[in-house]
Amino acid sequence: MPLVDMRDMLNHAYRNSYAVGGFDLVSLDFLEAILAAAENCRSPVILSLAESHFEHYDFELAMAATEKAARRAEVPVAIHLDHGASQESAVRAINLGCNGVMVDASHESFPVNVAQTRRVVEMAHACGVAVEGELGYVAGVEGEDAAKHPGENQYTSVEEAKAYVVRTGVDCLAVSIGTVHGRLRGKPKLDCDRLKRINDAVKIPLVIHGGTGLADEQYRKLISHGVAKINYYTALADAAGSRIRANARADARCGYTGLVKGMQESIREEVERVMRLWGSAGRAAEVLVQCQAWQPVEHVIIYNVEHVPDAQVEAMMARGREMLATIPGVRRVVTGWAVADKPRYRFCWLIEFTHRTVIDSYREHPLHRQFADNLFRPIAVDRVSVDFEHVDAAPAVPVSRVRESAAG
């Protein structure tokens, strides 16, 4: 159950003056370490998957593991697409299970950024999914990931931020006030006065990208001016890298498992450190009580056809699987034939929606209308349709406990 609505999670952090970490994961080691840290600290957490990292892993496989881990976690979790490249990326991420998305148009002009973000918001909100927008540009300086954010920082304008939030309808706003992606060169200077004025103007949770490397006091100041989500990656990659190098020095002939030994602990320790620093530690219980659970819905149709050969039904099902699976918020389309000889109904659709909001947006979607009106309803006159929300009865199994028992 502990997948929760990301909007609720961020609003809770914003109202209660702490920040949730959006930790980019690049492997199962990161996933397990981040969740173990969250469970140890009793902290809400955002598992973040950045499109610029898709060269390192298969997004679809990573999402399967991420969702599984999130659902069995003991603490509230949201799953977020970080720096998505396009509307298509956002639809894919939502259909694979993300309940927060960011499509990064911050390098575009203000009107183009507004228009692109607005489109993402319309689509994502129809799926119940939260959207992060970015205004101003957070560049990279050096080190892990910096090269993916070339150019110079462009600070967020207060006036534009106000207009951007109203026109796009984003749920949280990433701002540029002096942080950079990657390892820092020198001590960063943050424009906290600008941040305060942005917060006063927009009054929605603010997001900091380039979270690595700030002083403790700087994090506290950011949070006091409305920052409710801090994106964090390079420090975790560096903690992992240091451990691997130490392992290699200790045994120059060691293989893969020898090299990564203890790496999860190094990542976990760094995640726990910032969860305590940012004030999210100890908040899990109240977030679980106050945030809506993120539960999929099964759209179930059972039906009969009259005077139609099975081959035609099969062709109709195949076309439906193809068309309906591309609709935003549709996670899975299954078609079935009854096993029994003379059942009350012979055929079924099992269509999984990301969230109950999709019940309406799916019904109105042009692809659904086209399929239902032209191919399905004319031959399936005798049919029953019901939407079921999942009920999670399974007790949560903490990641740390699973790992302990796996270790014997």
Pairwise CA distance, residues 61 & 279, whole Å: 32
Query: Going edge to edge, which strands form the sheet with 382-389?
Result: 330-337, 347-353, 297-304, 382-389
- The distance of Cα 107 from the centroid of its chain, to the nearest Å, equals 21
Is 76 a binding residue for ligand 13P by CB under 6 A? The answer is no
Sequence-separated (6 or more) residues with CB below 8 Å from residue 34: 23, 25, 45, 47, 236, 267, 268, 271
Pairwise CA distance, residues 203 & 214, whole Å: 24
Is 104 a binding residue for ligand 13P by CB under 6 A? The answer is no
Q: Which is nearer to ligand 13P, 81 or 204 (CB)?
A: 81
Q: Which is nearer to ligand 13P, 1 or 230 (CB)?
A: 230
Pairwise CA distance, residues 157 & 245, whole Å: 42
> Of residues 181, 197, 243, 368, which one binds ligand 13P by CB under 6 A?
181
**Residue 249, token pair as written in the block:** 């020095």
Q: Which is nearer to ligand 13P, 82 or 272 (CB)?
A: 82
Q: Which is nearer to ligand 13P, 210 or 296 (CB)?
A: 210
- 80 contacts 100 by C-beta, under 8 angstroms: yes
Query: Looking at 5, 8, 24, 82, which residue is catalytic?
Result: 82
Among 148, 151, 355, 126, which Cα is nearest to 231's?
Answer: 148
Sequence-separated (6 or more) residues with CB below 8 Å from residue 278: 18, 19, 20, 21, 219, 223, 230
> Of residues 66, 113, 168, 231, which one binds ligand 13P by CB under 6 A?
231
The nearest distance, CB 146 to ligand 13P, in angstroms, is 8
The reply to whether 82 belongs to the active site is yes
Is 234 a binding residue for ligand 13P by CB under 6 A? The answer is yes
Is 272 a binding residue for ligand 13P by CB under 6 A? The answer is no
C-alpha neighbours within 13 Å on the C-beta side of residue 238: 15
- 227 contacts 206 by C-beta, under 8 angstroms: yes
- Considering only residues 31-70, where is the footprint of ligand 13P by CB under 6 A? 50
> Binding string to ligand 13P for residues 5 to 34, with x set by CB under 6 A, is what?
-------------------x----------
Q: Is 383 exposed, middle or buried (0-12, 13-18, 19+ CB in 10 A)?
A: middle
Pairwise CA distance, residues 299 & 333, whole Å: 10
> Of residues 11, 27, 89, 212, which one binds ligand 13P by CB under 6 A?
212
Query: Which residue stretch of 204-212, 221-229, 289-297, 318-326 sits at the interface with ligand 13P (rule: CB under 6 A)?
Result: 204-212
Is 72 a binding residue for ligand 13P by CB under 6 A? The answer is no
The nearest distance, CB 177 to ligand 13P, in angstroms, is 13
Is 320 a binding residue for ligand 13P by CB under 6 A? The answer is no
> Of residues 14, 18, 30, 233, which one binds ligand 13P by CB under 6 A?
233
- Considering only residues 140-169, where is the footprint of ligand 13P by CB under 6 A? 145
> Of residues 182, 279, 328, 329, which one binds ligand 13P by CB under 6 A?
182
- 131 contacts 102 by C-beta, under 8 angstroms: yes
Length of the chain: 408
Give the bridge partners for 350, in sequence order: 300, 334
Catalytic residues, by residue number, are 82
Residues at the site binding ligand 13P, with contacts judged by CB under 6 A: 24, 50, 82-83, 145, 181-182, 209-212, 231-235
